[in-house]
Amino acid sequence: MDNLAKQIATDLNIKEEQVKNTIALIDEGNTIPFIARYRKEVTGGLSDEILRDLGEKLTYLRNLEQRKEEVKKSIENQGKMTEELEKQIDNAKILAEVEDIYRPYKQKKRTRATIAKEKGLEPLAEVIKEQRKDVNIEEIAKEYINEEKQINTVEEAIQGALDIIAEEIADNAKYRKQIKRICYYEAKLVTKAAKEEKSNYEMYYEFSEKINKIPSHRILAINRGEKEEFLKVKIEKPEDKILDNIKKDMIKKESPVKNYLDSTIEDSFKRLIEPSIDREIRADLTQKAEEQAIKVFGKNAKQLLLGAPIKDLVVMGFDPAYRTGCKIAVIDETGKLLATTTVYPTEPQNDIQGAEKELLKLIDKYNINMIAIGNGTASRESEMFVADLIQKSQRDVHYAIVSEAGASVYSASKLASKEYPDINVSLRGAISIARRLQDPLAELVKIDPKAIGVGQYQHDVNQKRLTESLVAVVEDAVNKVGVDVNTATPSLLGYVAGINKTIAENIVKYRDENGKLKQRKDLLKVPKLGNVAFKQCAGFIRIFDGENPLEITAVHPESYEIAEELLKTIGFNKKDLLNKETLNKIREELSKLNIKDTAVKLNVGEMTLQDIIQELSKPGRDPREEMPKPILRQDVLKLEDLKEGMVLTGTVRNVIDFGAFVDIGVKHDGLVHISEMSDSYVKRPSDIVSVGDIVKVKVIDIDYDRQKVKLSMKDVK
């Protein structure tokens, strides 16, 4: 435990005590959202992101320890364990190192070396390795000629012995470690064209970069180019240096077998070591690149999920299309469906007049304030139509472009069929688009996180790892916001800490049968939701219009007494939280408190007390309200309207390793390259912007043929 905690603390740059305490909490079965929010004193206030990393490292290191034990047991069973070998295994820091040590003891397929051993040539190999000056190896080799064993000549006997030595060199953990170290410092990844034709990979048709410098997005692009057979990829390494190192270690200066060993080392390297080292390095580079891509995806997805909701508006969802027509859905302030229709303002029908008449009628009938347009096929043509439509409306209507990624996945899902059994699949997408503007989180949790579409190369990375990471991201987002237990769908409830899919369904069933829950402890009446689950989920559940005003906040039931005592010390009670006038006074009094003294007086940790004060100051607060609101437009831009030097306001749609894509209101999002983000050095674009951010950008280049716009965030006022 101590070594484990020490290594994690070093890797994450946190205190060992924090790690030990967190491991204890995880082992007790506590969820990450619960630990992050309600055990700050124990963890020293570690964020959910750090806690997730800690949990992953803990799993990896425990698996590493388990593998070490398996390897030691296997070597012991072979009767080959030594003190030195055991020490090497115990000191190994990564799984690859353990596997390299274990390599000589693994059960092998039949190789040239195993065949030579079967022929009894091991003693000859030992003689060669001794490199004695007084030995004539050719004379000794004659003793091994045996027709039955198919050793017909001296050369065959020596070659068999050299095959055994070649495999021993290839299995030597010290050499493998040394070679990898040299490669990671000096080797290059080199790519060439596999076929002469235009493709997205042309920049890699004649390309090389040191493997310790190559960014993750480039590795994934090269991998994809190789998979699609446009690229040939190899690792170019300092071969002479590698061979010299092994030769210096193995060969004595004056040796009659020097030439044999020279050629054997070269054979071992080319035939056995290089292919496996190349595979390991490529796999390692890919794994690191995938981890980075998954992190980028997760960060973007979290920002999208935590997008500011547009509340108290009647919204028209507009799902653009060409031939099949644009699907329209009107939903009220609560997300309830009011009307659906299909209009054909785009090609080939171009029925602009008929579409205008239909939609203006809906705007007037349902007092529509907002139109949410999906950003897929025919989006910009639809936007132009909507901008003209708004000018003709008697009402003050705005529109916003909404990411429709995954809307079609939702439309055809079992969940959508259950929610809207009588609505055509094609119309469900428009409902989803409208609801995404009203409450991005509640709607986006209904689809597979992978379908959210705000990453890079998400289809090329380890899908199991991506899913695990994104589920964690959704959990953190849902628990950060909190969930109204009386209105939430099972999809949303299923991401609350301690609540699984079955319990989520049971909560909704209980709600349907017994009416609204009046207090959090009513959850204990829900089948399969016991005390353990209740402890994890209770603080993230909100009950508005319930019996306890504290339950519109994130104050956990275990802290109710402290919260009430705190209110009492400033002359109020929990019911005063519901009165606007008294709430302002409560805020004022809470802001005057001395945290240290009050924490001692109430026998509570300072961080927990600060959280309680924050919740009592803004009961029912939605943290997403602090996020940038979507840009609401009434007019539209065409690519032809753009001019170099023009400054525009846009929404960040995607952040990747080499920059960010910004929606500036033309057909395709513009790219702000990492080099155009700041005058100072930028290590990661995510340090500068996040998905959903509203930014000012300057147009620096327009490619009309390819419909591409380059943007800059430098010197923009």
pLDDT tens per residue, range 240-261: 999 999 999 999 877 889 999 9
DSSP helix/strand/coil, 77: helix
Domain extent listing, the chain: 2-105, 112-296, 315-438, 509-626, 639-712
Taking the model in full, what pTM does it have? 0.81
Whole-number Cα distances in Å, 51 to 9, 26, 42, 59, 92: 12, 10, 12, 12, 25
> For position 455, what pLDDT does the model report?
62
| pLDDT value at residue 673 | 94
Helix (H, G, I), strand (E, B) or coil at 463: helix
The CATH classification number of 315-438 equals: 3.30.420.140
Candidates 101, 103, 82; CA nearest to 92 is: 101
| 189: Cβ contacts below 8 Å, ≥ 6 apart | 208, 209, 210, 211, 214, 219, 222, 233, 234, 235, 236, 285
Task: Give the burial string for 137-173 (b: 16+ CB within 10 Å, else e).
Answer: beebbeebeeeebebeebebbbbbbbbbbbbbbbbbb
Question: Whole-angstrom Cα distance, residue 428 to residue 418?
Answer: 11
Give the C-alpha distances (Å, rounded to integers) separating 392 from 26, 386, 396, 414, 679.
59, 10, 10, 39, 44
Residues of the chain with pLDDT under 50: none
pLDDT at 638: 74
Between helices 258-267 and 154-171, what is the axis angle to 10°?
Answer: 50
Q: What does the pLDDT look like over 190-205, one tens digit per residue?
A: 999 998 888 889 999 9
* CA–CA distance, 187 with 196 (Å, rounded to integer): 27
Would you state the pLDDT for residue 237? 96
Structure tokens at 552: 């519109």
Fold held by 112-296: Tex N-terminal region-like (1.10.3500)
Which fold does the domain 2-105 belong to in CATH? Arc Repressor Mutant, subunit A (1.10.10)
CATH number of 639-712: 2.40.50.140
pLDDT number for residue 656: 86
Altogether, the residues listed in the chain come to a count of 717
Q: Which CATH architecture has domain 509-626?
A: Orthogonal Bundle (1.10)
